[in-house]
Structure 1
Amino acid sequence: MGNYQICDFCGNLSQKTNNKMCKSCEKDYHNIRSIVEVHPDTMVIDISRQTGISVSKILAFARNGFFVLKEGPMEETN
C-alpha cells in the first residue's frame, strides 16, 4: 500500500501517519482530549453526547493507549 494505511479507528484508507489514524479520527481524538483535559472525570457517554463521537470509537482510543479509563460508580443523570 506504499504511502497509505488502514485507520485503526474507522477502517478507512488514508495517508500513512505515525499514529495510524486518518485525519478525521485525529480530529475526533483532539475533540475528546480537549474535554478530558478540562474535565478528566467525564463519563464516556457524556463525551459521546457532547462530541457526536461514538462510544465505540472513544473506547477504541482507550484500548489503543490514547486514554486511560477510570472506573467508578454510575451516576443517574436527569
Structure 2
Amino acid sequence: MGNYQICDFCGNLSEKTSRKMCKSCEDAYLKIRSIVEVYPDTMVIDISKQTGISASKILAFARNGYFVLKEGTIEGLE
C-alpha cells in the first residue's frame, strides 16, 4: 500500500499520517480536542451538537485512546 493507509475511524483509503486517520477524521479529532481543551467536562452529546460530529465517532476516538471518558464527559489524553 506504500504511502496509503486505511483510516481507523471511517475505513476510507487516505495518505499515511502519524495518527492513522484520514484528513476528514483528523479535522474532526482536532475540532473535538479544541472544545475538550477549553471545557474538559463537556458531555459527549454536547460536543456532538456543537460540532456536528456523531457521538459514535467521538466514542470511537475514545475507544482508540485519543480521549478518556469520565461518566458522560470526555477528557483530552494526547
TM norm structure 1? 0.88
Indicate the percent of aligned positions where both proteins have the same amino acid: 85
AA aligned to 1:32 is I
Counterpart mapping for 1:47-66 below 5 A: 47-66=47-66
Q: Which runs of 5+ in 1 are unaligned?
A: 73-78
Q: CA deviation at 1:7?
A: 0.3
Aligned to 1:7: 7
Runs of at least 4 residues of structure 1 off by over 4 A?
none
Task: Give deviations 1:12-58, integer Å, cap 9, x for gaps.
Answer: 11001111001111110010001001111100000000000011110
**Distance (Å, rounded) in 1 between the aligned partners of 2:11 and 2:56:** 13
**Distance (Å, rounded) in 1 between the aligned partners of 2:8 and 2:51:** 20
Higher relative contact order (CA 8 A, sep 6+): 2
Q: Which runs of 5+ in 2 are unaligned?
A: 73-78
**Distance (Å, rounded) in 2 between the aligned partners of 1:31 and 1:56:** 15
Are 1:41 and 2:45 counterparts? no
| Aligned alpha-carbon RMSD (Å) | 0.9
Q: CA deviation at 1:64?
A: 0.7
**Distance (Å, rounded) in 2 between the aligned partners of 1:11 and 1:49:** 23
